[in-house]
């Protein structure tokens, strides 16, 4: 029953959240960089609060209760580094193999994504579509980039639910539900970035929205993985929480925040991050 509950929550967060963004993109055919920037930085703040004040602190509380060994902090640090490194390396490989094919990405371009189309490599897909070459490979690259972005987010949701005693009765409370809501909101602009280039390239709107929604499925798989690993024993729970936290910290510091600031060069994204961080703290505490 717990797995079914997680599937339902993450399906709403990942698939319906991304699909909602695709629907908005299909209707508007455009996106506001300022609004997206504030939304991404606010979501990053809440994610950061949940990771630091809840996920990484939970094993410490178990250690204080005598359920985990005294060297638990080192296990957490190692797992966080591993999670960060794995997602960083995989993203680096994709960027290295694709960025040189996109004309506007050169020596004068920021070394990180400055728009959502770069983050999920829909710009690479567009380049191949215009030249009508290796379109299938370009599509696979785009799917891989989206999966790399959504899998760790799903793992955070699953790992968060793994520390909830009975998620069947508490499915709408705790850090797992908080993360599901935040990730669902942040998936909306991501869905817009997926749908707009597909529709602009001639794809019918219903099909584009459907494909966009399906791109959120890796969130479900990530959540099941995070919850399954966390349910084995307390050491595996610690490793799962640490790895998911590290992966999410890469998403926050390596993707969301640089992109939010580059999309709107203002102090307001930092303020939105600050508000998100405090909001996340209050959500975790209460």
Q: What is the pLDDT of residues 197-238, one digit of tens each?
A: 778 777 788 988 998 898 899 999 999 998 888 888 888 889
Structural domain count, the chain: 1
pLDDT band at 277; cut points 50, 70, 90 = very high
Asked whether the predicted pLDDT for residue 76 surpasses 90, the reply is yes
Structure tokens at 230: 């966390």
**pLDDT at position 224, please?**
92
> Taking residues 132-137, what's their average pLDDT?
78
What is residue 174's predicted lDDT score, i.e. its pLDDT? Answer: 73
Residue 83's pLDDT is 94
**Residue 253 — pLDDT band, cuts 50, 70, 90?**
very high
Give me the domain span that covers residue 178: 2-285
What is the percent of the chain where pLDDT is above 70? 95
The model's pTM is: 0.85
């Amino acid at each position: 029953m717990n797995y079914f509950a997680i599937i339902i929550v993450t399906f709403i967060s990942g698939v319906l959240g991304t699909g909602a963004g695709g629907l908005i993109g299909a209707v508007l055919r455009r996106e506001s960089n300022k609004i997206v920037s504030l939304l991404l930085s606010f979501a990053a703040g809440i994610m950061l609060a949940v990771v630091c004040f809840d996920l990484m602190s939970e094993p410490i509380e178990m250690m204080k209760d005598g359920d985990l060994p005294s060297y638990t902090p080192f296990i957490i640090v190692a797992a966080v580094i591993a999670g960060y490194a794995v997602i960083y390396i995989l993203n680096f490989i994709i960027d290295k193999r694709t960025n040189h094919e996109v004309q506007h990405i050169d020596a004068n371009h920021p070394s990180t994504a400055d728009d959502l189309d770069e983050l999920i490599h829909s710009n690479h897909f567009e380049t191949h579509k215009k030249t009508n070459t290796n379109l299938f490979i370009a599509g696979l690259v785009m799917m891989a980039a989206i999966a790399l972005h959504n899998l760790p987010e799903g793992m955070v949701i699953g790992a968060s639910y793994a520390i909830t005693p009975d998620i069947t009765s508490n499915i709408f409370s705790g850090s797992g539900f908080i993360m599901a809501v935040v990730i669902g909101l942040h998936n909306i602009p991501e869905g817009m970035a997926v749908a707009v280039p597909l529709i602009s390239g001639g794809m019918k709107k219903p099909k584009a929205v459907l494909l966009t929604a399906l791109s959120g499925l890796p969130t479900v798989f990530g959540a099941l993985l995070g919850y399954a690993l966390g349910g084995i024993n307390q050491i595996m729970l610690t490793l799962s929480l640490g790895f998911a936290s590290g992966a999410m910290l890469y998403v926050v510091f390596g993707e969301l925040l640089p992109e939010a600031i580059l999309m709107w060069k203002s102090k307001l994204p930092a303020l939105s991050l600050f508000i998100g961080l405090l909001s996340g703290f209050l959500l975790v505490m209460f």
